[in-house]
Amino acid sequence: MLLSFYIHIILLISFAIFSVVTLTFIKRIYTENNLLSSTPPASIRDTQIEFRSLANGTNKSPSNASVARNDESDLRENIFGSAKAKNSILDRLTFINPPNTVCIYPDNTENYMIIIVLSRALNFDFRQAIRATWGRNEKYKGYNTIMKTIFFVGTDDSVQLAVRLEQARFNDVIEIVIPENYAFVAHKELASLLWTRLYCPLARIVFRADDDILMDTFSLLNFIKHDLNLNVNDGLYGWFRLNNSVHRGDRWAVTRMEYKPNTYPPYTFGVGYLFSNSSCQRLLNAANQPNHQIVRIGDAYITGILRDLAGIPFYDFHDLEFSYTFHDQLPCDEYFMDNPRLLLCMSKLHLGIREDLFEFYDTWDIILSKHNTSLSDASY
Ligand SMILES: *[C@@H]1O[C@H](CO)[C@@H](O)[C@H](O)[C@H]1NC(C)=O
Ligand SMILES: *[C@@H]1O[C@H](CO)[C@@H](O)[C@H](O)[C@H]1NC(C)=O
Ligand SMILES: *[C@@H]1O[C@H](CO)[C@@H](O)[C@H](O)[C@H]1NC(C)=O
Ligand SMILES: *[C@@H]1O[C@H](CO)[C@@H](O)[C@H](O)[C@H]1NC(C)=O
Ligand SMILES: *[C@@H]1O[C@H](CO)[C@@H](O)[C@H](O)[C@H]1NC(C)=O
């Protein structure tokens, strides 16, 4: 009697949880559709058909998207050619590009910076906020650097159509053919480098960021203008940690089979680091070895292990800082107001708490006024 009572209670609770999850999901899909409804309607159907044919590999469509897809093997051949290792992990990393070219070179590619943003396929709203704030494709007054932000998402069947509409609309989302799953973060990160090498090799500066950070773009541009000389100090720039031990026992554990040493080579936080196109190539060459193994911890792998294998020097961001805000209650905008050296701020968004994207916009307003800039006079 009592037992069946409990079973009923448990069933009720499960049903409640199920309903909430379903509702949240439906609500999300609905918001995403709204978000994308600003897409010009004319081309949507064509795009869908085109992408379907991309997905099943029958590249009959003469559009540039198919061309790009077909060319990928040629590009690989050109770049790795005879240096291509048997069993290279790089062969297993492939992409679905938007219909039009993503990387459009300016006259002077020495001043071209691409910002690689690793994003979850579901995070449409984050990407939209970044396009409008710190990741604007701009050339700001007073700086030579020309910025282009490119988002890399994994494959997530539940939102694939929406992602492809977004690709067609904004031409800045690359789909990496890897499941959207924590275990593959390092694969995604390596894939974003490979894409850059294949499709945007002449962008001299590459900045890698997460989609849940807030950034003072002008601090980055000032750093590039005053402190960066890749022809003299070509390396990887970040906030390096030395002697970080390899975790063997917790949730992010890496086994001895995966990585034997007890400490990682110096590595920096994955949330924001900078390197040159030639370092990008060297990192990929280091990964392009027979039976090279990816270690799952993305930042330790790329900026530590692979960087070390490639013999790329590391440098700290001169005079720039980052902060977390999720341990205390101070929001990122206050950090930006108080600290002139703050480059990056990781807000609660970083913990997956995502109710409030106004933070992107509020912080951006503060950053603009901090640098005496308004967008009307920001670029030319
Ligand atoms: C591939 O997509 C095209 C266009 O939608 C469709 O006609 C064709 O049947 C598909 N082929 C396969 C093998 O799925
Ligand atoms: C496709 O590529 C050609 C050059 O290869 C270019 O002239 C044309 O404008 C492109 N079309 C689209 C729709 O991007
Ligand atoms: C890196 O970019 C510069 C400037 O755009 C270019 O001259 C150089 O060839 C590129 N290097 C590689 C390895 O692609
Ligand atoms: C890192 O560890 C090694 C050996 O354990 C030690 O010799 C070295 O001084 C350490 N470096 C730093 C910066 O702590
Ligand atoms: C912005 O303007 C104020 C007042 O004119 C000045 O004190 C400040 O130094 C300026 N800041 C920057 C970053 O130019």
Task: Give the span between the Cα atoms of 278 and 267, in whole angstroms.
Answer: 19
Q: Which of 103, 146, 198, 204 to mutate to test the pocket of ligand 3 (most atoms within 8 A of CB)?
A: 204
Q: Is the pLDDT of residue 256 over 70?
A: yes
| Distance (Å) from CA 317 to ligand 5 centroid | 23
Residue appearing with tokens 């540039």: 64
What number is the average pLDDT over the span 12-23?
A: 73
| Nearest ligand for residue 261 CA | 4
Q: Work out which ligand 3 atom sits closest to the CA atom of 109.
A: 5
Residue 112 lies in a domain: yes
Is the C-beta atom of 46 inside 6 A of ligand 1?
A: no
Task: Give the span between the Cα atoms of 34 and 27, in whole angstroms.
Answer: 11
Residue 55 lies in a domain: no
Domain coverage including residue 150 = 92-378
Residue 155 lies in a domain: yes
Q: Report the percent of the chain where pLDDT is more than 90.
A: 55
Residue 41 lies in a domain: no
Nearest to 121 by CA among 200, 29, 59: 29
Higher pLDDT, residue 68 or 195:
195
Q: Work out which ligand 2 atom sits closest to the CA atom of 101.
A: 14
Is the C-beta atom of 55 inside 6 A of ligand 1?
A: no
Q: Work out which ligand 5 atom sits closest to the CA atom of 370.
A: 13
Task: Give the span between the Cα atoms of 348 and 68, in whole angstroms.
Answer: 38
Q: Report the percent of the chain where pLDDT is more than 70.
A: 81
Confidence of residue 70 (pLDDT cuts 50, 70, 90): low
| Nearest ligand for residue 65 CA | 2
Residue 87 lies in a domain: no
Nearest to 314 by CA among 241, 210, 220, 231: 241
pTM score of the predicted model:
0.77
* Residue nearest atom 5 of ligand 2, based on CA coordinates: 64
* Residue nearest atom 9 of ligand 3, based on CA coordinates: 202
Higher pLDDT, residue 23 or 207:
207
Residues 162-178 have pLDDT tens digits of 999 999 999 999 999 99
| Distance (Å) from CA 250 to ligand 4 centroid | 23
Residue 68 lies in a domain: no
Mean pLDDT of the chain: 84
What is the predicted pLDDT for the residue at 52?
A: 41
Confidence of residue 160 (pLDDT cuts 50, 70, 90): very high
Q: Where are the beta strands (DSSP E) in the chain?
A: 95-96, 112-118, 146-155, 173-179, 205-210, 213-215, 236-238, 240-241, 267-268, 272-276, 314-316, 321-324, 342-346
| Distance (Å) from CA 373 to ligand 5 centroid | 10
What is the predicted pLDDT for the residue at 46?
A: 44
* Residue nearest atom 8 of ligand 1, based on CA coordinates: 53
Token digits of residue 204: 């001299």
CATH number reported for the structural domain that contains residue 275 in this entry: 3.90.550
Residues 337-372 have pLDDT tens digits of 999 999 999 877 766 666 678 889 999 999 999 998
Please provide the distance, in angstroms rounded to a whole number, between the alpha carbons at the two ends of the chain.
76
| Distance (Å) from CA 214 to ligand 4 centroid | 33
Helix or strand run (H / E) with residue 257 = none
Confidence of residue 28 (pLDDT cuts 50, 70, 90): low
HSE-up of 340 (CA within 13 Å, CB side)? 3
Q: Which residues line ligand 5 (CB under 6 A)?
A: 371-372
Do 173 and 192 meet the contact criterion of CB atoms below 8 Å apart? no
Task: Give the span between the Cα atoms of 321 and 342, in whole angstroms.
Answer: 5
Among 56-65, 184-193, 227-236, 262-271, where is mean pLDDT lowest? 56-65
| Nearest ligand for residue 373 CA | 5
Residue 19 lies in a domain: no
Give the total number of structural domains in the chain.
1
What is the predicted pLDDT for the residue at 310?
A: 97
Is the C-beta atom of 87 inside 6 A of ligand 1?
A: no
Do 153 and 162 meet the contact criterion of CB atoms below 8 Å apart? no
Residues 196-242 have pLDDT tens digits of 999 999 999 999 999 989 999 999 999 999 999 999 999 999 999 99
Residue 172 lies in a domain: yes
What is the predicted pLDDT for the residue at 35?
A: 46
